[in-house]
């Protein structure tokens, strides 16, 4: 059994990825600054992966692979505190890569973002689209990508579309689906920034977890790959799907658009399908229905 270091493994995507790794017979070691509930058979380190504390994890465990999810996951939080964003995103990545190379890790899988495409020049956006930035979050994610490519380790860089699913923190983590779901479940008014016609490519966290694990089992290296559905859903359409599923009666309140928000985003997923033989399984309607049934995943 191979040992996988999962940084940020107690976060939203991390929990799903940990369970998927266990299902596929990997030993899981989690390093995270905030440890809440724990999964049996997983080894936990309560540390900041951007610091020297991480060296002990590599020293005391034979790490075969790293899935690096630890990050400041919010665009708005990055705008408010760019120094923290730099620490949590870029500095953490440099530290993880340095130690991964020192201890001969086979591959690093990195969670990047559609935010590096900013307002795209064409849609759907493929991996050859030039990068540009509307936030510090996108800048540090792109800088992390570049450092990973520079440092000489086998890598897969995944650029995630907008991730959603049961158990996502509506307030601590990015995600319009989670925020709307929380407010509408408690019959509170929803604010829509802008006119609501801006659209996104929403990808289920279950699909993200499966793809993260596939990156370890496939003999594919040194690629940047979009993880997406290649389908657009406007914020107004998302509101309507949730309204129907949750039997919500209130009208949304339209407010000013936020700085750093991307207007239109759809990611081309042909490369994912071609290289990994995997097509995302969950559309938005079924994903929302699943959230309404589960309520909480963990």
Q: How many other CB atoms sit within 10 Å of the CB of residue 104? A: 11
Measure the CA–CA gap between 193 and 254, rounded to whole angstroms.
6
* 298 has pLDDT over 70: no
The pTM for the full model equals 0.94
For 225, residues 6+ apart whose C-beta sits below 8 A from its C-beta are: 127, 156, 157, 158, 159, 271, 272, 275, 276
Is position 16 annotated as part of the catalytic site? no
Query: How far is it, in rounded angstroms, from Cα 288 to Cα 218?
Result: 30
Active-site choice (117, 137, 199, 248): 137
**pLDDT tops 90 at residue 137:** yes
Find the mean pLDDT for residues 168-194. 88
**Residues 6 or more apart from 12 whose CB is under 8 A from it?**
73, 163, 165, 167, 168, 169, 173, 175, 205
Distance CA 280, CA 241 (A): 19
Q: What is the CATH number of the domain that holds 68?
A: 3.40.50.720
Q: Is residue 120 classed as helix, strand or coil in its secondary structure?
A: coil
SS3 108: strand
In sequence order, the β-bridge partners of residue 107 are 65
Closest CA to 289 of 241, 226, 234, 240: 241
Domain that holds residue 280: 3-294
Name the average pLDDT for the chain.
Answer: 94
What pLDDT is stored for residue 174 in this prediction?
58
pLDDT score for 172: 62
Q: Residue 169 has which token pair?
A: 């923190």
Contacts of 54 (CB under 8 A, 6+ apart): 31, 47, 48, 95, 96, 99
Q: What is the pLDDT of residues 268-282, one digit of tens each?
A: 999 999 999 999 989
Summarize pLDDT for 280-296 with one digit per residue, the tens: 989 999 999 888 887 55
Alpha-carbon span 124 to 103, nearest angstrom: 39
Packing angle of the helix pair 235-246, 176-185 (nearest 10 deg): 30
Residue 147 has pLDDT above 60, yes or no: yes
Pick from 197, 213, 195: which is nearest to 205 by CA?
213
Percent of the chain with pLDDT over 90: 86
Query: Scanning the structure block, which residue is given the tokens 């086998």?
Result: 154
- Residue 76 to residue 90: CA distance in whole angstroms: 17
Q: How many domains does the chain have?
A: 1
pLDDT of 297 strictly over 90: no
């Amino acid at each position: 059994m191979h040992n996988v270091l999962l940084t940020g493994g107690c976060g939203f995507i991390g929990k799903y990825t940990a369970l998927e790794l266990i299902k596929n017979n990997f030993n899981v070691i989690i390093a995270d600054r905030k440890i809440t509930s724990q999964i049996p058979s997983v080894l936990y380190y309560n540390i900041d992966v951007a610091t020297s504390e991480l060296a002990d994890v590599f020293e005391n465990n034979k790490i075969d692979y790293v899935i690096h999810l630890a990050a400041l996951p919010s665009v708005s939080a990055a705008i408010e505190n760019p120094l923290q964003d730099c620490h949590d995103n870029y500095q953490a990545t440099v530290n993880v890569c340095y130690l991964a190379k020192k201890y001969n890790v086979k591959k690093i899988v990195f969670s990047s973002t559609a935010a590096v495409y900013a307002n795209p020049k064409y849609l759907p956006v493929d991996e050859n689209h030039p990068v540009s930035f509307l936030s510090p979050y996108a800048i540090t994610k792109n800088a992390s990508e570049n450092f990973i490519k520079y440092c000489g380790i086998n890598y897969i860089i995944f650029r995630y579309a907008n991730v959603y699913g049961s158990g996502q923190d509506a307030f601590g983590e990015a995600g319009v689906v989670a925020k709307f779901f929380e407010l509408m479940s408690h019959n509170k008014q929803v604010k829509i920034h802008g006119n609501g016609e801006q659209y996104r490519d929403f990808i289920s966290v279950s699909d993200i977890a499966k793809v993260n694990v596939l990156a370890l089992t496939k003999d594919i290296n040194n690629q940047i790959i979009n993880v997406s559905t290649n389908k657009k859903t406007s914020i107004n359409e998302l509101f309507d799907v949730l309204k129907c599923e949750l039997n919500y009666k209130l009208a949304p309140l339209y407010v000013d658009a936020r700085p750093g928000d991307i207007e239109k985003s759809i990611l081309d997923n042909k490369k994912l399908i071609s290289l990994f033989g995997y097509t995302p399984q969950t559309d938005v309607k079924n994903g929302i229905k699943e959230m309404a049934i589960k309520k909480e995943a963990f």
